[in-house]
Amino acid sequence: QKEVEQDPGPLSVPEGAIVSLNCTYSNSAFQYFMWYRQYSRKGPELLMYTYSSGNKEDGRFTAQVDKSSKYISLFIRDSQPSDSATYLCAMINGGSNYKLTFGKGTLLTVNP
Amino acid sequence: DAEITQSPRHKITETGRQVTLACHQTWNHNNMFWYRQDLGHGLRLIHYSYGVQDTNKGEVSDGYSVSRSNTEDLPLTLESAASSQTSVYFCASSPGTGHTLNTEAFFGQGTRLTVV
């Protein structure tokens, strides 16, 4: 079993839709959870970072962590064509050497 | 503005040749990383460094080496290129000293390497 599982999609939604992206993980030592956005032929860029269970909101984006279920989500409200990208979840085992472990990424297309 | 740059952006090489991919950052970050990204595998860590003269193996380090002689650069060398090393390579850096948290990693634009 991979440490981090992420449905690769692709996911296609109309403009204005609410998008839900998810990752599950198996390593209970993961403490820090991140979402990266990667546009085509570009490097990933950090979107949001959370620690421990709960929600974190930043504009149209909400990151949610449920440690008891080992499940994290990213919600995008009022999705825009400019949100079309691959979204990667990433996690850090705080008890180790702080390396990032990435999911495979979900390709999202928002259609105008 | 501070940045992280990779060169070349695209490279085609032959099997068995030695290839070096450059990574240069101007943030003065201590931590630098090399990843490869392949369809079906996502981003996988090749090597990483927490400072000058420090290098560590990641999960897919076989056939690759790095050296860190200064803060700004972490070149990645493929000793004898193989077709299995055809991939997109990303360099990243993050602030902090030693083993401090690397939540905010900054990535370069990537190098697309084809081994024929």
Per residue in B13-37, pLDDT (tens digit) is 999 999 999 999 998 998 899 999 9
Mean pLDDT of all residues in B92-114:
79
Greater confidence (B73 vs B2) lies with B73
**Cα–Cα distance for residue pair B61/B76, rounded to 1 Å:** 11
- Please tell me the predicted confidence (pLDDT) of residue B34: 96
Q: Which of residues 2-61 of A touch B (CB under 8 A)?
A: 6, 8, 32, 34, 41-46, 49
Residue B116, chain A, CB below 8 Å: the answer is no
Contact B53, B104 (CB under 8 A): no
pLDDT at B103 over 80: no
Residue B98 banded pLDDT, cuts 50, 70, 90: very low
pLDDT at B99 over 60: no
pLDDT at B42 over 90: no
Q: Helices marked H in A56-108 — which ranges?
A: none
* Structure tokens, B85: 């090393």
- Please tell me the predicted confidence (pLDDT) of residue B104: 77
Mutate to test the interface with B, among A51, A99, A106 (most CBs of B within 10 A): A99
Contact B92, B33 (CB under 8 A): yes
Chain B nearest C-alpha distance from A103 (Å): 6
- Chain B CB contacts of A97 below 8 Å: 56, 99
- Residues (pLDDT < 50) of chain A are none
Sequence-distant (≥ 6) Cβ neighbours of residue B51 within 8 angstroms: B30, B31, B68, B71, B97, B98
Q: How far is residue A62 CA from its own chain's centroid?
A: 10
- Please tell me the predicted confidence (pLDDT) of residue A92: 84
Share of chain B above pLDDT 70, in %: 91
Between strands B54-57 and B64-66, the pairing is unpaired
Mean pLDDT of all residues in B68-82:
97
Q: Which residues pair with B57 in a beta bridge?
A: B47
Q: Helices marked H in B1-116 — which ranges?
A: none
N-term to C-term CA, chain A:
37
Tally of CA atoms within 13 A in the half-sphere of A70 that contains its CB: 11
3-class SS of residue B95:
coil
Residue A100, chain B, CB below 8 Å: the answer is yes
Of B112, B113, B23, B33, residue with least CA distance to B75: B23
The sign one gets for the Cα dihedral A39, B51, B45, A62 is negative
Of B63, B2, B70, B86, residue with least CA distance to B32: B70
